[in-house]
Amino acid sequence: MTAFPAVLLPLPVAIPLVVCAAMLATAHLLPGRVPDILATLAALGVAILSAFIAAHAADGPLVYWFGGWEPRDGVHLGIGFSVDEASGWVAAFIGLLYALTFVFAWGFFGRTHGHFQILMLLFLAAMVGFCFTRDMFNLFVWFEVMSVAAFALTAYHLEESALSGAINFTVINSLAGFLMLGGIGLIYAQTGTLDFEGIAAAVARGGRDPVVAGAFCLVAAALMIKGAIVPFQFWLADAHAVAPSPVSVIFSGSMVSLGLFGLAKVSAVVFAGSDQVQHGLPVLLTALGSFTALLGGWMALLQRHLKRMLAFSTISHAGIMLTGIGALSADGTGGMLVYVVGHGLVKGALFMVAGILLATRASIDEIALRGLGRGIGPAGIAMAIAGLLLCGLPIGVLDQGTRGVQGALAQQGHGIALAAGAIGAALTGAAVLRAAGRIFLGLGPDSGDEAGAPSEDEREKANRPLWLMLAPCCALLVLDVGLPAHLIEHALPRAASAFMHRPAVDTVAEGPGWLPWMSVLAALAGAAYGLLRDRLPAFVVRSVGATQSAPTRALEALHSGLIGDYAAWLAVGVAIIVAMLALA
């Protein structure tokens, strides 16, 4: 029999599933607000339960065997959940993000018989299952449930862009699922088990084995596709830009980073014993991560469609997270885990601001919205604060994550990745601050290259009071800034080593203190340039513009929206991973 706290492990997955099945069964009988209330309560319940589990997992991971099928004679017969402290807190964060999103979307999806809430709850259950599981195939199942729920939610608006964006998203992420399943098949054939620990033991015994390396390539490619790493990132901008804003909050705030969370877990736990994988990973992950951070940041700066801008900024931050994993140390991974939470809080708040603008000002276009935000000052302040936090203002959870990642990179001499991360963060911060200045202060009459970026008319129902939308947004920011730093500092070394199944370390390294400030300064400079372009001397503007326009056009052409191109890039991406591992 399982001891007390571990008995709770199935509940954070089972509760949302039961609630959504019951909601579907009685879909036509439920009165108006009941789905909203039920969904919010279920998400809160998940958050509280996960937090409770996480707190109890501090002494060691909690393990639960479904159906009572505990391992016999070294063979893992059933599916297990294994929750370490970090996984538990990430699940708690996700539950909270959902609860706040349900509040944000209160009544937004009123006439759908709770179908929106059903999909969101399924999405939530899948994410928690993804965090908790210790079985390869079970990981795949939750991965697919996440995907399927996400596909349907993306196209909710039924606009042409939403539909074609959803198709691209679906096709690419389905391919990711197939790759992952192929990898699982290979590793199962080679090791004879699906359990993380079982595979890890067999891999460590096996020595250099092309099958294990191949399996890792396939699984890693799948998780990087979910995590929107260059050159798999194309789907993200198409999908996140067109999804309803409450859905985008979840996508950017948790789905993308969860892909990388899975990658961190798989490479640290399952493939820890493969020297080939461990040798190849640092170069592969830091290189791809740096490239992603820069490309995402640059693209974000060039957008005028707010949600598309935020989507590219998510790509950039995913790159930074990947460099954190690439350090392959407790500092880097620990920093990355904190970063996941901090980024989710800040990015969620930003997408909520975008949703507020969509609902109250009926537009999402930065240039069209210029000066229109004056009546909703609090949203502007929230956006500015979020922008500053995004580029590295040294307070709050996101900053703590950044310092962890930067510390690990500095310690291991990945100077380029360190710089790329700082520049990427600065670029996305500059983009958000510029948009905030233009929308809420009416600055920046002269729109530069942004004007050529794609945009589209869009609006969302204006049926919710402003405070109801603003409250969850502010709650996210307050959480990010207000969470006591020493709590995280205290728990992080222990949690990160438990997450990676390594002996505990005492402290984690921290990056140079001046680096975040540099990012903030660069972001402010970038935003100021965008907003005050008309007041600068002409030769400055012209020379900067000349260096901007050509790469901009090339990059925008690369993000062509054509599914065929994306499929070709996907093959290239897998080939890059294979080549890097083959050389290791």
Partner 1 sequence: MSPRARVALLALAALILLPGAASVIAGLPPFGATIARYGERINAITPEARHVANMVSAINFDLRGLDTLGEEFMLLAAITGTVILLRGRRGEGKTGRAMRRPGRAVIPRSEAVVLACRIAGPLTALFGLYVVLHATVTPGGGFQGGVILASGTLLIYLGEGYVGWRDAVRSPWLDALEGGGALLFALCGLAPMLTGAAFMQNVLPLGTFRDPFSGGLMLVENLGVAMAVAGGFTQLFLEFMEETREADEPDEPGEESA
Partner 2 sequence: MLPYAVAAWLFGIGLYGIATSRNFIHLVGCLGVCQSATYVLLLGLGYRWGSIAPIFYDHPPGTPAVDPVMQALVLTDIVVGATLTALLLVLTIQAYKRGGSLDPEKLRPMRAGSKSGRGQGSSRGKDEERTAP
Cβ nearer to partner 2, comparing 112 with 161: 161
Residue 48 Cα distances to 54, 90, 101, 243, 583, angstroms: 10, 12, 16, 28, 46
The answer to whether 434 and 527 are in contact (CB under 8 A) is yes
d(CA 387, CA 66): 44
Which partner, partner 1, partner 2, none, binds residue 204 by CB below 5 to 8 Å per kind?
none
The answer to whether 272 and 317 are in contact (CB under 8 A) is no
**Binding residues among 103-132 for partner 1 as defined by CB under 8 A:** 111-113, 115-116, 118-119, 122-123, 125-126, 129
Output the DSSP codes for 99-122.
Answer: HHHHHHTTTTTTTSTTHHHHHHHH
Cβ nearer to partner 2, comparing 222 with 359: 222
Q: Which residues contact 554 (CB under 8 A, 6 or more apart)?
A: none
Shortest distance, position 146 Cβ to partner 1, whole Å: 9
The answer to whether 305 and 452 are in contact (CB under 8 A) is no
Question: Contacts by 413-417 with C-beta closer than 8 Å and gap 24+?
Answer: 414/282, 414/286, 414/323, 414/326, 414/327, 416/286, 416/290, 417/286, 417/287, 417/289, 417/290, 417/323, 417/326
Which partner, partner 2, partner 1, none, binds residue 18 by CB below 5 to 8 Å per kind?
partner 1
The answer to whether 335 and 317 are in contact (CB under 8 A) is no
Cβ nearer to partner 1, comparing 52 with 529: 52
Binding mask 217-236 toward partner 1 (x if CB under 8 A, else -) reads: x-------------------
Cβ nearer to partner 1, comparing 184 with 409: 184
CA geometry: angle 210, 318, 473, nearest 5 deg: 145
Which partner, partner 2, partner 1, none, binds residue 535 by CB below 5 to 8 Å per kind?
none
Is 383 a binder of partner 1 (CB under 8 A)?
A: no
Q: How many residues does the chain have?
A: 584
Is 444 a binder of partner 2 (CB under 8 A)?
A: no
Q: Which residues contact 50 (CB under 8 A, 6 or more apart)?
A: 12, 88, 89, 91, 92, 94, 95, 128
Which partner, partner 1, partner 2, none, binds residue 164 by CB below 5 to 8 Å per kind?
partner 2
Is 137 a binder of partner 2 (CB under 8 A)?
A: yes
* Residue with the two structure tokens 């999909």: 119
Q: Which one among 30, 34, 141, 483 touches partner 1, defined by CB under 8 A?
A: 141
Stretch that binds partner 2, among 104-112, 146-154, 258-266, 338-346 (CB under 8 A): 146-154
* SS3 of the chain: helix, strand, coil, percent, to 5: 75, 5, 20
Stretch that binds partner 2, among 4-12, 136-144, 274-282, 496-504 (CB under 8 A): 136-144
Question: Residue 335 — left, alpha, or beta (φ > 0 → left; ψ -120 to 50 → alpha)?
Answer: alpha
Cβ nearer to partner 1, comparing 485 with 572: 572
**Binding residues among 225-244 for partner 2 as defined by CB under 8 A:** 238, 241-242
Is 546 a binder of partner 2 (CB under 8 A)?
A: no
Tell me, what DSSP letter sits at residue 20?
H
Which partner, partner 1, partner 2, none, binds residue 298 by CB below 5 to 8 Å per kind?
none
**Binding residues among 526-565 for partner 1 as defined by CB under 8 A:** 560, 562, 564-565
Which partner, partner 2, partner 1, none, binds residue 512 by CB below 5 to 8 Å per kind?
none
Size of the site for partner 2 (CB under 8 A): 57
Output the DSSP codes for 133-176.
Answer: B-BHHHHHHHHHHHHHHHHHHHGGG--HHHHHHHHHHHHHHHHH
Output the DSSP codes for 371-391.
Answer: TGGGG-HHHHHHHHHHHHHHH
Stretch that binds partner 1, among 147-155, 263-271, 335-343, 523-531 (CB under 8 A): 147-155
Residue 576 Cα distances to 88, 285, 437, 458, 568, angstroms: 33, 11, 40, 38, 13
Is 583 a binder of partner 1 (CB under 8 A)?
A: no
**Binding residues among 21-80 for partner 1 as defined by CB under 8 A:** 21-28, 64-69, 72, 75-79
**Binding residues among 564-583 for partner 2 as defined by CB under 8 A:** 564-565, 567-568, 570-571
**Binding residues among 445-484 for partner 2 as defined by CB under 8 A:** 451-457
Q: Which one among 3, 562, 579, 583 touches partner 2, defined by CB under 8 A?
A: 562
Is 209 a binder of partner 1 (CB under 8 A)?
A: yes
Is 163 a binder of partner 2 (CB under 8 A)?
A: yes
Is 363 a binder of partner 2 (CB under 8 A)?
A: no
d(CA 430, CA 524): 6
3-state secondary structure 216-229: HHHHHHHHHHHCCC
User: Which residues contribute to the site for partner 2 (CB under 8 A)?
Assistant: 137, 141, 144, 148, 151-152, 155, 158-168, 170-171, 174-175, 177-178, 181-182, 184-186, 188-189, 194, 238, 241-242, 305, 308, 451-457, 553, 556-557, 560-565, 567-568, 570-571
